Every structure is written in structure tokens, then in C-alpha cells.
Amino acid sequence: MNFLRNLLAAILGTLIAFGIMFFMFLIFISLANVEEGVVVKNKSVLELQFDDPINDYTGSNEADPFAGLFDQAMGLDDIIHAIAVAKNDEKIEGISLKSQFVMAGWSQTQAIREALRDFKESGKFVYAYADLYMQKDYFLASVADSVFLNPLGNMDFRGLSAEVLFFKELQEKTGVKMEVIRHGKYKSAVEPFLENSMSEANRTQIKELLSSLWGSIVQDIATDRDINPDDLNRIADTLGGRNPQYAKQNGLVDDLLYMDQYEVVLKKASGRKENESLQYIGLSDYMKEASKKILNKGSDRIAVIYAQGEIMYGEGGPSYIGQGIINDALIKARKDKKVKAVVLRVNSPGGSALTSDIIWREIELTKKEKPVIVSMGDVAASGGYYIAVGADKIFAEPTTITGSIGVFGTIPNISELSKNIGINAEQVATNVNSTEYSLFEPMTPQFRGVVTENIETTYQTFLSRVAAGRNISLARADSLAQGRVWSGVDAKELGLIDELGSLDDAIASAADLAELTTYSIRRYPRYKSNFEMLMEDLSGAKTRVQEDMIKSELGEDAFGLYKEIKRNAQQRGIQASMPFRLTIK
């Protein structure tokens, strides 16, 4: 009896101790995150450095004490808001753009450029400096009044390229294959599992896509640097920016300076003497200060709903789109009497066709009561286009990748591997079709026929959504479909979107449709707090650690291959997804 009493006392004491330690940990984290208020001093220079990945929307909560325990990201909406606030902030003299290896998409980068271009209308300066300019870094920097490069620095300016990996031979050697069923000659999301090389149809669309994106990039640079587009292409073809001297001679940069010399330029521009110290304020700090200032005010509201990531069946979250969190946001916006219009910001390569249709339906219901405008980010293709097509109006950036109207299915099969290593699977069933599919047996013609039927039904449904949403015939929709991808510029010419423009342009259009002159912005969805994710996703933390270990062993390129194979193997159901995975650089 005494033993049991002592054992229970020990267990209770241990639990109490762990409880005390846990709450002390919470208090410590909270205290560690208590910061003095941000003070913006007179004659400050706002320094833009993008050290973290940029997402369209983070839904961040500065008061969350667990924020630092998770992967960091910057919100594009927060960045643009901070630049807009700085435009009219008397304490900000100008902006120093000092960022290398920008971790953002091309359309996100283009959106920041447009915000900086608007900032310049205040008469304040924007200068850019770097030791090394990669293409995306230079694209961003080229909007500046003056661009400076380290005298021994480097610049990458060569045009865009993309690489697609093929796995057919790997499947043959390992006995592990993906059974593929698709619709559309351009639906090459599954081509890497069917062929050892790129089809001409795929090569054509990638070439045309890259050419259109590059044309938009070159035009922006040409406008801001006052260089003829043909000359910029000549510079790219001859690597005319490959060393600092060539970069200056060809007009890509204004001067070659060391950092201390660049700071002299900043001092002069910000009204300080050479013997005075520069007063910088970092972007992260300024975003905290800017978040206290509301630029759009009014009792009426426009709801901005962010849908970012792959589309998967389920709740959804910051990194993937699920019908749960998006439809909940649409319902809240629809029922809120103060919300007069909805803007859906889509940044997605697509995914589950079923989830896409569920979200499409909720948009249809919302559109009956309030205007719905779509703003496309870096990519709004396949399932991403599916959920966008029912909107009253669609905006895209020139560098947006969109279209890809088509569907496919991939099912893993290891029958060859099983045979080679001596595994034999036997099935017992009550009916002819009870055993629908076995991973260990070749796909039967009957099963393939059923899946093909579902693929065709889903494709025709997709086409009907496009035809109705864009007010075109099914034949016209089909001619634009077949999984073909387009840039924002091409999509505008083809009628797949209505206007080229930013998220702000989409919001302004929503205000016009709702006949609003003053309004505030309400952003959705509200993601779970980091504390909730910490409690619910301890296994996710383990997964991240494991992936970090694999990445360190394999290296960046091999790890990317591993992730691509894993992603395709985990796909479930019919997919309305991007026709290929492109890293454009």
C-alpha cells in the first residue's frame, strides 16, 4: 500500500514539475519577445533587405510568443503596406534597397517593384546596392533611381531557363512506377513518368512561357533604366554584365562603389554631412510600426482572402489550400454585412480537382450576394485557375503563370519490384470489383477504364466552369485548354483574365463594383496560432528535422529530386495541377 502511495505521489510530483517547467517556459518566451517600441528617427533611411522567404500572406501575430520557433517568412502584403506608409512618413528620407538572393516569385518581385515605383512619386530617393546581383535581385533593383555594384562584385543577367526532370528509366530500373492517366496533349505534369525526354508540345509551351515572362521583365527594366529592350537582350546574349566594368559600360548599373562610398551617397541624399552617422531603420522593424497605421479607412469593408499553396483535400493552412479554411473565410465574408465585396488572392499551381470544385461552388454562392474579384499571384494554374474562373473579374500580373486547364491521375505501382524481390500478393473478394486496385498487381484494363472515365468527366466539368465563367463556348474553352500554360500577358490576350494589375488594382476594382468610395480591408483566413501548431504538430517538427538531415546529406539538387518524387507519390485522387514543376532562373 505504501508502495502504491509513494508511486502515485512520485507521478503526481513529476506532472506538477513538468507543468511548472512548461509555464516557466511560456513566461520566458513571452519575456524574450517583449521589445521596446520601434522609434523612427528624423532623416531615417528605410533599408530593404529580404532575408526570409516571401509569402503573399503570413497571417502573422506579433504578440505570439512562439513565432520565433517556426520557419520565418515575410508577408508580401506587409512589405507593400510598409513601403506605402513610408511614402508619406516625414521621418523617412528614402529607401536603400540592399538585398541579395531574394526568395520570392517573379510576380511577387514585380509587385514590390511597383510599390517602390509608387514610393518614388513622393520625390524621395530609392537607391540600390549589392556585392552580387542575381537576375531577380537585379530585376528588383532596376526600379531604383540609381543602382550601385561593388567594384569586384558580380552580376547575373542571361535570360530565363527552366529544367524538367524525367523518371521513366529510373522506374524501369527499380520496378517502381507511376501509372498515369491524363487528358490533354499539353498535360505534361505526368510526362516525366512516361518519357525519357521532353515532348515537342511541352518544349514549345515552356519556350513560349519563358519568352513571355522574359519579355515582361525586360520591358520593366528597359523602362526604368532607359535602355532599349533589344539592347538588353543583346547584353543577356553576350553576358554583357558578367563583370562590374561591363555592367557599368552597358548601363545596367550607375557606378561601382564600395559600401563606405555608397553610404556617402546615402548621407548626401538624406541631408546628412559626411561626418554624421546614417540613421537606418530595418524593414522588419518598420513593418511593426507601419502595421499600426491604417491606410484604408471606412465602415464598409472589402474582404481579401488569401489562397496560397497546393490544393489538397482538408482543412488547409499557411502552406496549402484546403476547402475547410477557404470556404470558412468565404462564408464569414458573405455573412458579414459590413463586407461589401470579396477579393480572392490566388497563388497556387493547383492540386485536388475535388477540392477545387468545392471552393468554386462557395465562390459561386458568394458571387450571388457580393462582387468577387480574383487577383492572381506568381501562379494560378490548373486548380488555381479552376477556383478563380467563376469570379466577376480576374486580374493577373504580367509574370503570372496561369491556365493549365486539364486533369490527370497518377497511381503508384510496385508490381515489377514485387516480382523481382519475391513478393506475391493474392486477393480474395466477394464481388467482381471488390478489389479495386492493388499496389502489387499490374493495373487492369477495367480499372484503367473507370479512372479514365472519371478523368474525362472531371475535364469536361472543368471546361464547363471555364466556358461559363469566361462567357465563351465549350469549343473555345477546349482550344485554350489541354493543360497549356500561359503568362499573364498571353492570358489577357486570350481572354482567360480580364486585366493586368496588382492586388491593389483588384481591390480598387472591387470597390468600384461595390460602389464604395471609402472602405477598410479585412484579411482572411485566420491561421492557427503557433502555440496551437506546437501542440498539434509535434510530429511535423520531427518531419522537418528529418528532412533537414536528408537535405544536408544529399545536397540541394538531389534533395529537390527527392521532394519531387515524394510529392508525386503522395498525390491522391484526380489532379488539376500545373503541367510541370519549374524553377525559373
Count of positions (residues) in the chain: 585
- Give the Cα separation of 132 and 127 in Å (integer): 15
Catalytic residue among 136, 187, 370, 393: 187
Is residue 382 part of the annotated active site? The answer reads yes
Helices 200-225 and 229-237 cross at an angle (nearest 10°) of 120
Residue type for 242, please?
A: R
Encode burial over 291-327: b for 16+ CB neighbours within 10 A, e otherwise.
Answer: eeeeeeebebbbbbbbbbbbbbbeebbbebbbbbbbb
Query: Residue 571: helix, strand or coil by DSSP?
Result: coil
Q: Where are the beta strands (DSSP E) in 353-458?
A: 372-381, 393-396, 401-403, 408-413
Contact 290, 82 (CB under 8 A): yes
Across-strand partners of 486?
402
Residue type for 186, please?
A: Y
Query: To which H or E segment does residue 304 belong?
Result: strand 301-308
Residue type for 244, please?
A: P
**Greatest distance between any 2 Cα atoms in the chain:** 92
Nearest to 139 by CA among 111, 165, 162, 164: 111
- Give the Cα separation of 372 and 344 in Å (integer): 7
Is residue 207 part of the annotated active site? The answer reads no
Catalytic residue among 107, 270, 375, 382: 382
Q: Which residues are catalytic?
A: 187, 382
